[in-house]
Amino acid sequence: MLGRSDEGVLLKENGLDVPLPDGSTAYFNYYWLRDNCPASFDPETRERVFDVFGLLEAPKPAAAALVSDYLEVTWQASGHVSRIPVAQLLQYARPGQRPDPANLPRQAWFSDHYAHMARFSHEAVLHDETARRDWAGAMLTDGVALITGMPDTDAGLTETAGLLGYVRPSYFGVTFEVKTHIKPTNLAFTSKALPLHTDLPSEEFAPGIQYLHCRANSVEGGDSIFVDGLAVAEDFRKADPEAFQLLVETDVPYYCEHDTFDMRARQRVIELDEYGNVSGVTISQHHEDIFDMPQEDLDAYYPAFCRFGQMMRDPKYVMRFRLNAGECIVFDNHRIVHGRVAYSATSGERHLRGCYTDRGELRSVYRVLAGEGRFK
Ligand code: OGA
Ligand code: ZN
């Protein structure tokens, strides 16, 4: 049956036009209306239980009408009645992605950020949901925060990280100890300078959020150096748009090889989000494999790559500070480039304990704590 139904709802071949309270008329496809009928979702699991693949014919309404705050559609074959809230129709009337509360605007920061860095006590993030939400929020906007008053225990790190997601292992294990190792498998496990980098780009999905819990730091040297890769990359885009494009488009090989592992993956130096904004960077000279791109392409790539690497070292961007025992620095490993200056291994003790969680779970934690979702 095609034609006009009640209350100005116009039935068409594949969908219907419905007048909305904001004065507009919007078109909705019949499959969409049937698939997203509230009865299609199980209230307990909150998952869709309607099987759109099981429809033997395209869904067609026998009738459709606006009844108070609902669009009521009676379906021809099954006789099922869908009551779809007009609020849901309003939300999907115009094309565009569902708004995401975790899409907080990223704020670029510079060398003077240490004094402004978001700080939360271990006690607060553990027991106060508002502090935990603000911490997750700071991770989304600034990509870095400091947790103070950490207990001097191994469990302190994983307990803290567990607040923003499940701890995810890497090929170094569930956690790792940054101190001078007798047989180091990583530059970090020596007392040498550790140039600005992001961690583990040889993983298919490099870890998202990194935690470094400082258990001891009484050595001479060893200051931390942190840079907001997003601030550098956005400035780089303005300074040299062609070089920027090369860093966005070119896959770079990374490796990490020892007796029991041989990790390899390709990553792009600059990562963009779906809106074209910089959402991250990947840099690690010590884990960069021998470039295997066509040599002719390197004529343009190397200068662009080096210009970006040099820009990252501009004092304008480098936040230098000392990480103290009892602090845990938490940062977005896809955005914040970090390292440390060399230290004297015999001058005292330096020990950081680290682990990772992922970016997706950080966003999930923020959404839950911000109290927004389809089932709230
Ligand atoms: C690392 C690292 C920083 C430091 O282990 O990946 O960056 O201060 N360590 O030792
Ligand atoms: Zn690192």
Q: What is the pLDDT of residues 121-156, one digit of tens each?
A: 999 999 999 999 999 999 999 999 999 999 999 999
- Which residue's entry shows tokens 């001058």? 347
Is residue 199 lining ligand 1, measured as CB closer than 6 Å?
Answer: yes
Is residue 281 lining ligand 1, measured as CB closer than 6 Å?
Answer: no
Q: How many other C-beta atoms can be found within 10 angstroms of the C-beta atom of residue 115?
A: 7
Average pLDDT score over residue span 293-321: 98
DSSP state of 43: T
Contacts of 54 (CB under 8 A, 6+ apart): none
Query: In angstroms, what is the span from residue 361 Cα to ligand 2's centroid?
Result: 21
The amino acid at residue 363 is R
Which CATH entry fits the domain spanning 3-92: 1.10.10.60, 3.30.2020.30, 1.10.390.10, 3.60.21.10?
3.30.2020.30
Say what the pLDDT of residue 2 is. 45
Say what the pLDDT of residue 6 is. 59
Query: In angstroms, what is the span from residue 206 Cα to ligand 2's centroid?
Result: 12
Q: Binning pLDDT at 50, 70 and 90, where does residue 9 land?
A: very high
Is residue 230 lining ligand 1, measured as CB closer than 6 Å?
Answer: no
- Long-range Cβ pairs for the range 21-28 (8 Å, 24+): 21/86, 21/90, 22/90, 24/93, 26/89, 26/93, 26/94, 28/89, 28/92
Whether this prediction's pTM lies above 0.85 is answered by: yes
Q: Binning pLDDT at 50, 70 and 90, where does residue 44 land?
A: very high
Taking 70 as the threshold, does the pLDDT of residue 225 lie above it?
yes
Determine the residue of 157, 287, 352 to mutate for testing ligand 1's pocket, defined as the one with the most ligand atoms within 8 A of the Cβ atom: 352
What are the distances in angstroms from CA 60 to CA 24, 51, 52, 195, 365? 23, 16, 13, 63, 40
What is the position in ligand 1's atom list of the atom closest to the CA of 340?
8
Query: In angstroms, what is the span from residue 363 Cα to ligand 2's centroid?
Result: 22
Q: Whose CA is nearest to atom 7 of ligand 1?
A: 339
What is the position in ligand 1's atom list of the atom closest to the CA of 197?
7
Query: In angstroms, what is the span from residue 195 Cα to ligand 2's centroid?
Result: 9
Query: In angstroms, what is the span from residue 6 Cα to ligand 2's centroid?
Result: 64
Average pLDDT score over residue span 259-267: 96
Taking 50 as the threshold, does the pLDDT of residue 1 lie above it?
no
Query: In angstroms, what is the span from residue 228 Cα to ligand 2's centroid?
Result: 14
Taking 90 as the threshold, does the pLDDT of residue 372 lie above it?
no
Say what the pLDDT of residue 7 is. 63
Q: Which two tokens stand for residue 255?
A: 């490796």
Task: Give me the residue spans of the domains in the chain.
Answer: 3-92, 111-370
Give start and end residues of each alpha helix (H) in the chain: 30-35, 86-92, 122-127, 129-141, 154-161, 229-239, 241-249, 295-312, 359-370
Q: Which two tokens stand for residue 333?
A: 């490993």
Query: In angstroms, what is the span from residue 187 Cα to ligand 2's centroid?
Result: 9
Across the chain, mean pLDDT equals 95
Helix (H, G, I), strand (E, B) or coil at 303: helix
Say if CB 156 and CB 149 are below 8 A apart: no
Query: In angstroms, what is the span from residue 366 Cα to ligand 2's centroid?
Result: 25
Positive or negative torsion for Cα 19, 20, 26, 29: negative
Average pLDDT score over residue span 331-349: 96
Determine the residue of 176, 179, 200, 338 to mutate for testing ligand 1's pocket, defined as the one with the most ligand atoms within 8 A of the Cβ atom: 338
pLDDT, tens only, 69-115:
999 999 999 999 999 999 999 999 998 888 899 999 999 999 999 99
Taking 70 as the threshold, does the pLDDT of residue 298 lie above it?
yes
What is the position in ligand 1's atom list of the atom closest to the CA of 350?
10
Is residue 359 lining ligand 1, measured as CB closer than 6 Å?
Answer: no
Is residue 178 lining ligand 1, measured as CB closer than 6 Å?
Answer: yes
> Do 111-370 and 3-92 fall under one CATH topology?
no
The ligand with the least distance to the CA atom of 216 is 1
Q: Residues whose CB is under 5 A from ligand 2 (ion)?
A: 199
- Which residue's entry shows tokens 């990583």? 186
Residue 253's Cβ-side half-sphere holds a number of Cα atoms within 13 Å equal to: 11
Q: Which CATH class is domain 111-370?
A: alpha beta
Is residue 363 lining ligand 1, measured as CB closer than 6 Å?
Answer: no
Is residue 287 lining ligand 1, measured as CB closer than 6 Å?
Answer: no
Taking 90 as the threshold, does the pLDDT of residue 316 lie above it?
yes
Query: In angstroms, what is the span from residue 365 Cα to ligand 2's centroid?
Result: 24
Q: How far apart are CA 219 and CA 239, in angstroms?
A: 39
